[in-house]
Amino acid sequence: MSDSSIITLTNGAFDADLSPLDRGLAFGDGLFETCRVRAGQVPLWLLHARRLRSGAERLGIPLDEERLERERDQLLEAASGQSGVLKLILTRGQGGRAYQPPAHPAPSLCWQFRPGEPPSWEAGQTGVTLYQCRHRLGDNPALAGMKHLNRLEYVLARSEWGNDYPEGLLLDGEGRVVEGTLSNVFVRLEEGWRTPRLERNGVAGVMRQLLLDSLAPAQEIAVTEAAISVEELMTAREWFVCNSVFGLWPVVGLAPEGAHWPVGEQTRQLQRAFDSWLEGRSTTKSMIMTTTGE
């Protein structure tokens, strides 16, 4: 049974279905973005669009940016200024012989809008306990950083726990911290803040990018992209996970190890900076445009 409150737009038509011949269904041949919508606006849209464009270039999927903006506005107009979560799926479309892509792709754009404030926003105030997943992420530099449609590793990891934890922690084959199942990780060690490098696996989140490019520097908080072992994580002074929908979640525990951390002062500082950014997004939008060269 479908949720009647969800608005869908497929290739410019409301409530339309995607063809079963689409390569996104057959091969996961595409990308997606999940965006927070706040009062009819998508505050991080420029960073979402930049990541989508970069991924499309790497996969060789042509992206009509005028169409992208037009269909986004079409969906947001139908949402009538509501807050919620927008999901965009870009596929290569139909065609090609087996794995061979078509010579002249006709990409599909599929949009979803789910109204309502994210139910997990409260966790940002109290902190969260994560579950350390047994499943390890494999190395795949060709796809690292992209938010591509091949998410079975994350499905397997998420199946390890029920509803006791809001998020899981993912490691690579050598036991290094990579990310959460739907978030990125920032850790404050004795020598300063680190976030894992994402050259071999993982997703380069847009909230992660906002923190690296704008929010952390504005707060005079230096962050290094570098490896983080589990042993180092256990010595952290504070740490958090982040994504574009829920913002920043301070991490206060890790199961099943039973480790605990306080909600850190600099995590709160960055949360306040993000809240201020949301309130004055038009000013920061200009800063992002300068940072990204748009």
Per annotation, catalytic residue among 8, 33, 71, 147? 147
**Token pair for 209:** 């990018």
87 is catalytic: no
Per annotation, catalytic residue among 8, 10, 33, 34? 34
| 91 backbone dihedrals φ, ψ, rounded to 5° | -120, 165
**Token pair for 44:** 């991080």
179 is catalytic: yes
Would you call 28 exposed, middle or buried from its count of C-beta atoms within 10 A (0-12, 13-18, 19+)? middle
Largest distance between two CA atoms of the chain: 55
147 is catalytic: yes
Would you call 72 exposed, middle or buried from its count of C-beta atoms within 10 A (0-12, 13-18, 19+)? buried
Name the nearest CA neighbour of 244 among 18, 17, 41, 62. 41
Per annotation, catalytic residue among 33, 71, 167, 179? 179
Q: Which helix (H) or strand (E) holds 156?
A: helix 152-158
What residues are annotated to the active site? 34, 147, 179
